[in-house]
Amino acid sequence: MTSHERPHIIFGTAAFGTGSPLAKIQDVETAAPIIATLQARNVTDVDTARAYPVGSPGAAERLLGELGVPTWANLSTKVNSWAPGTHTAEGIQQSVAQSLEALKTDKVDIMYLHAPDRLTPFEETCRAMDAEYRKGKFARFGISNYTADEVEEIVSICEKHGFVKPSVYQGRYNPIIRSGETQLFPVLRRHGISFYAYSPAAVGLFTGRLSQDPSQLAGSRWDDSTASGKIYHDAYYKPAVIAAAQTVADAGAAAGVSGHALALRWTIYHSALSREHGDAVLIGASSLSQLVQNLDAVDAGPLNEELARLVSNVGDLVGDEAAAYHV
């Protein structure tokens, strides 16, 4: 199986902040070595969101602002999106203002619509984003978690009214979730929209440590009583998915490399992503050691033919149980 030049790497900060069980990097002292490592290893793009960490909106942005990340990184964030009615003109303006204040900056690289608000007309939302763009609040308009048909609708609205068009789409993509290759990517390519893959290793699924006993999930990232846990649980907590991921973990153990690293390297070097189209991969970390492990996996390069093919075939093992690329 052939490999390709690696796409751009972006650091995701969903684990930054306070007030949430998912906030593992809570203060400047803990975060500073992580920031120093990113700089030392030439990772200059950082991604966050108004919603991070889940359960404590705005805390991640405040910490990044305290760290001075906007002074050296290409920083992107996302507007409030997870409740119906958040994408009104007033809601967009307020969210953008709150993000920039928390980040202690006047402008970010990409401002995303984090998820569809299907209650507010898309035209109102696009008009509001265009207004903020023309005020110089962000350099690029991004969208995330929309269906391919919704992408077409948004582009059509923007073209009709002369609004700034989205140039980046951030979505789920990994060896398990691949429906975007046929359903979404052709639309993005046609409109010149780059794809940024989040969850490139399926939030730790390929470690082989996910228990199939539901009673063992309480308090973990897979706990479906939490907002983010329900997303992960619904996407991945299925017998066929867990079994397929275990085949990768077992192959990795035999080869002396983690299943997580195999999945990450497949997404980066062997998937349908394309540096030519400006695609990128987001990697996260809940500790300094985890960041180093992920960056080391990136730097390890493409997989050998046998391992690349094994990981690529995981999607066939999962079949219809694979989650969608959108929400």
| Domain total in the chain | 1
185, 195 Cβ separation under 8 angstroms: yes
Q: Given this model, what pLDDT does residue 213 score?
A: 74
Q: Is position 40 within any domain?
A: yes
Q: Is position 93 within any domain?
A: yes
Each residue's pLDDT tens digit, 208-228: 888 777 777 777 777 888 777
Burial of 73 (0-12, 13-18, 19+ CB in 10 A): buried
Say which residue the tokens 């189209």 belong to: 277
Q: Is position 260 within any domain?
A: no
Q: Is position 132 within any domain?
A: yes
Q: Does 52 participate in catalysis according to the annotation?
A: yes
From residue 90, alpha-carbon distances to 80, 87, 217 in Å are 12, 8, 39
| List of residues 6+ apart from 231 with CB closer than 8 A | 327
With vertex at residue 133, the alpha carbon angle to CA 131 and CA 139, rounded to the nearest 5 degrees, is 175
Across all residues in the chain, what is the average pLDDT?
96
Each residue's pLDDT tens digit, 228-257: 788 888 999 999 999 999 999 999 999 999
**pTM for this predicted structure:** 0.97
225 or 261: whose pLDDT is higher?
261
Q: Give the three-class secondary structure for 66.
A: helix
Q: Is position 110 within any domain?
A: yes
Write out the residue range of the structural domain in which residue 106 sits: 8-204+271-302
CATH of the domain at 15: 3.20.20.100
Amino acid type, 168: V
Q: Is position 200 within any domain?
A: yes
Confidence of residue 191 (pLDDT cuts 50, 70, 90): very high
Indicate which residue of 52, 196, 198, 325 is catalytic. 52
Q: Is position 169 within any domain?
A: yes
97, 131 Cβ separation under 8 angstroms: no
Q: Is position 20 within any domain?
A: yes
Q: Given this model, what pLDDT does residue 2 score?
A: 76
State how far the Cα of 163 lies from the Cα of 155, in Å rounded to an integer.
9
DSSP category for residue 16:
B
